[in-house]
Amino acid sequence: MKGRVYLVGAGPGDPELLTLKALRVLGVADVVLHDDLVSRAILALLPATACVINVGKRCGPKNLCQQEINELMVGCASAGYTVVRLKAGDPMIFGRAGEEMAALRAANIDFAVVPGVTAALGAAAAAQMALTRRGVAPALALVTYSRAACEPSARWRGLIESNATLAIYMPGDDYKKISAELREAGLDCETPCVLISWATTPTEQIHATTLGRLAEMLPLPSPTLIVIGAAALLAAERATLPVEAATGLTARTYC
């Protein structure tokens, strides 16, 4: 008898941000295939009897390729096990859920999706920063820099002209390049910019600066999210402590 696969969102890191459904599903898992960025605090909630496998990747190296992950899901479910594919954030946002659902459908494996809090929402809550503001920021654009960097500057201009708040996932560590591309596309160098590293976790860092000064920032530990736009202004205004003296910046950070 075939088992079932659950694509579960683990959220940005704080285990208290798991949904009740996610927690229930984790409690009955036989096999858990988790991303590398799923926090240890959440992994600690897994049943002692579950087979837990890290299938994620960080900074390029892969534990398993996507095809191997698909085969693991299908193989374990076909053997009758309850399988949880545990993803950081939300499965449907930059989580390759589309490829995995296609593989499960092709193998006639029953599956369900359990949504999670995506990084942008966790970061915004941590920084007490509204991602949209009436009359100022009417839209929100979730983009990955690795994808956006390959697009012509016209793509950036379209987002900028919409007055959308930009939430840049997986920005890498070349902040200077990001700053230059956005300024070339028409964004003012004084545009508020907030960087959030490991949002909602004990190692969280929140740094506020401007797009112009972003180029001078030292890279923060991954995973990092960069929020750029007028909606970030209040978060920048709330910042009261200087960034470490080693940066030589006048940007601010939270304690």
Distance CA 5, CA 3 (A): 7
CATH of the domain at 37: 3.40.1010.10
The pLDDT confidence band at residue 252, using thresholds 50, 70 and 90, is very low
Q: Which two tokens stand for residue 193?
A: 């910019």
Q: Which CATH number do you get for residue 243?
A: 3.30.950.10
Q: Which residue type sits at 146?
A: S
Q: Are 137 and 245 in a shared domain?
A: yes
Q: How confident is the model over 49-86, as pLDDT tens digits?
A: 999 999 986 655 567 899 999 999 999 999 999 999 99
Do 206 and 83 share a structural domain?
no
Domain boundary among 114, 148, 179: 114
Local structure of residue 255 (DSSP, 8 states): -
Q: What domain count does the chain have?
A: 2
pLDDT at position 145: 84
- Of the candidates 174, 176, 171, the residue with the CA atom closest to the CA atom of residue 223: 171
Last residue of one domain, picked from the residues 67, 99, 114: 114
In a shared domain, residues 86 and 184: no
Residues 207 and 185 in one domain: yes
| pLDDT of 26 higher than 90 | yes
Domain housing 205: 119-253
Active-site residues, by number, are 35, 57, 170
133 and 245 share one domain: yes
Confidence of residue 147 (pLDDT cuts 50, 70, 90): low
pLDDT band at 24 (very low <50, low <70, confident <90, very high): very high
Task: Answer yes or no: do 44 and 124 share one domain.
Answer: no
- Rounded CA separation 234/238 (Å): 6
Q: Please give the backbone phi and psi of residue 207, each rounded to the nearest 5 degrees, phi first.
A: -120, 130
Of 15-29, 51-65, 79-93, 219-233, where does mean pLDDT reach its minimum? 51-65
Instruction: Please indicate, yes or no, whether residues 249 and 124 belong to a single structural domain of this protein.
Output: yes
Q: Which residues are within 8 A (CB) of 246 and not within 5 positions of it... i.e. 6 or more apart?
A: 218
Q: Return the ∠ at Cα 171 (arms to 169 and 176), rounded to 5°.
A: 145
Q: Does 187 lie in the same domain as 124?
A: yes
- Length of the chain as a residue count: 255
pTM value is: 0.86
| More confidently predicted of 146 and 245 | 146
* Domain shared by 59 and 141, yes or no: no
Domain final residue, candidates 53, 83, 114 = 114
Residue 134 above 50 pLDDT?
yes
Confidence of residue 204 (pLDDT cuts 50, 70, 90): very high
Residue 19 and residue 91 in one domain = yes
Say yes or no: 217 and 95 in one domain.
Answer: no
Average pLDDT of the residues of the chain = 87
Same domain membership, residue 97 and residue 8: yes
